[in-house]
Amino acid sequence: MSKKYLPKYQKLVQKLHLARHQAGLTQVDVGKKLRKPQAYISKIERGERGLDALELAEFAKIYNKPLDYFTK
């Protein structure tokens, strides 16, 4: 992560990365599902781009995880 974020946000980003791998998806796969470029996913996973609640909900749905998985 290139920016300094609160530990809870760093944990959220790590969980996004882990959930993608657990779902067997690449950044390209997720980008296609979200209709976003792969770079969008990469920047989120590196902590270079923030997420709002609606975006996080989209990731949770794709990864088949409850929303609180990412926030606990």
CA atoms 4, 7, 13, 17: torsion sign: positive
Kindly list the domain boundaries of the chain, sorted by start residue: 25-65
Q: List, in order, residues 6 or more apart from 43 with CB less than 8 Å away.
A: 49
Distance of alpha carbon 14 from alpha carbon 67, whole angstroms: 14
Whether domain 25-65 has CATH 1.10.260.40: the reply is yes
Q: Are 60 and 67 in contact (CB under 8 A)?
A: yes
> What is the reported pTM?
0.88
pLDDT in tens, 13-65: 999 999 999 999 999 999 999 999 999 999 999 989 989 999 999 999 999 99
